[in-house]
């Protein structure tokens, strides 16, 4: 059942990528939330021995679904969407926290710091010019996003590490494109990396 749900989710994700690439907003409004709903179905169907982590992952997907819907609505408040995804990352961190290994965490932390030094300062400078409150919220969110990347990478589960890295890339591209300037691939690459990120953070449940 998990495999069937995963195939369906992948098919809908392809439709969503196509809708983003071709600016078919009416299709995107349906496909984007549906991908997250199907991901929740995958998490429910996966055979795992850790139902606590399953519950945290499902809750994180639910928060992500809320964030997706909020950011798609007309006159959406970016801060509200950001808060929903902040909650999602807190839940992901809680799901992985018992599996953190010190040495991989230090290595992953160092890599995230280096990446953040290149990406975060230009985004924050651009956001500050609009709103100091929003700049603070963006910094807080990037810390939560980085924490997810570090704990997932230090878990020793490859799909989790790759998923968190893809999520970090997606939101970095999103922030850069929204506040700094155009990015290669635009919104299409943001969505592709976002979905692969969520995929990795869901399917690791099959390995615990």
Structure confidence by residue, pLDDT tens digits, 128-153: 888 888 888 899 999 999 999 999 99
* pLDDT computed for residue 75 by the predictor: 62
Look up the domain containing 133 and give its range. Answer: 2-207
**pLDDT given for residue 148 in this prediction:** 94
Number of domain units in the chain:
1
Residue reference for tokens 């809708």? 19
**Confidence at residue 103, expressed as pLDDT on a 0 to 100 scale:** 80
Q: What is the pLDDT of residue 74?
A: 63
The residue-averaged pLDDT of 98-125 equals 86
Is residue 24 pLDDT above 70, yes or no? yes
Return the higher-pLDDT residue of 188 and 74: 188
pLDDT at 184: 82
d(CA 24, CA 16): 9
pLDDT by residue (tens digit) across 38-74?
A: 999 999 999 988 899 999 999 999 999 999 999 887 6
C-beta pairs of 5-13 under 8 Å, 24+ apart in sequence: 5/38, 5/41, 5/42, 5/45, 6/42, 6/199, 6/203, 8/38, 9/35, 9/38, 9/39, 9/41, 9/42, 9/199, 12/38, 13/191, 13/195
């Amino acid at each position: 059942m998990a495999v069937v749900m995963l195939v369906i989710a992948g098919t809908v994700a392809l439709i969503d990528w196509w809708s983003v690439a071709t600016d078919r907003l009416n299709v995107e409004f349906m496909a984007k939330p549906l991908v997250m709903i199907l991901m929740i179905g995958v998490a429910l169907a996966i055979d795992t021995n850790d139902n606590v982590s399953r519950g945290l992952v499902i809750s994180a997907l639910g928060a992500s679904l809320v964030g997706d819907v909020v950011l798609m609505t007309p006159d959406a408040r970016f801060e509200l969407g950001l808060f929903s995804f902040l909650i999602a990352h807190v839940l992901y961190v809680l799901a992985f926290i018992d599996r953190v290994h010190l040495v991989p965490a230090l290595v992953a932390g160092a890599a995230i710091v280096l990446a953040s030094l290149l990406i975060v300062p230009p985004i924050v400078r651009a956001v500050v010019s609009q709103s100091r409150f929003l700049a603070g919220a963006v910094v807080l969110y990037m810390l939560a996003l980085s924490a997810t990347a570090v704990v997932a990478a230090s878990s020793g589960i490859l799909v989790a590490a790759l998923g968190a890295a893809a999520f970090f890339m997606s939101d970095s591209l999103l922030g850069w494109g929204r506040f700094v300037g155009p990015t290669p691939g635009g919104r299409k690459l943001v969505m592709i990396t976002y979905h692969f990120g969520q995929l990795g953070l869901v399917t690791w449940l099959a390995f615990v």
